[in-house]
Amino acid sequence: MTAITSAHALGTALRAARKRLGLTQPDLALAAGVGVRFIVDLEGGKPTVRMEQVLRVIDALGGSLVLTGLDAVPDRATEDRDGP
């Protein structure tokens, strides 16, 4: 597990994972359904990338996003249905 504390650290971790898998940036972009420019920006640590696309890239690399140290937080769909 890798602790991510910045956009740059996320980009570095994802670049390393991509390279370990032997994927090029265009390979990963195709697998994740995003543009190559998005992969370049993400790996470069751009702080304003879209979260949904980040999650697709993580999934394409075989990873998942896990939050630790937080109390259980209901997902938005459940909260909207059940109220606050």
Question: Which of 64, 62, 66, 67 is CA-nearest to residue 20?
Answer: 62
- Domain CATH code at residue 56: 1.10.260.40
What does the pLDDT look like over 12-40, one tens digit per residue? 999 999 999 999 999 999 999 999 999 99
pLDDT the model gives residue 67: 85
Backbone CA torsion sign across 64, 35, 8, 73: negative
Report which of 17, 3, 5, 20 is spatially closest to residue 58, judged by C-alpha positions. Answer: 17
Query: Residue 62 gets which letter from DSSP?
Result: T
Q: Which tens digit of pLDDT belongs to each residue from 37-70?
A: 999 999 999 999 999 999 999 999 999 998 888 8
Assess if residue 76 is contained within a domain.
no
Q: Which residue segment(s) compose the domain that 26 sits in?
A: 7-60
> Shortest CA distance to 1 belongs to which of 69, 48, 56, 47?
69
Total domains present in the chain: 1
* Reported pTM: 0.81
Let me know if residue 15 belongs to a domain. yes
Query: Is position 72 within any domain?
Result: no
> Is 34 domain-assigned?
yes
In a domain, residue 68? The reply is no
**Which two tokens mark 12?**
């570095």
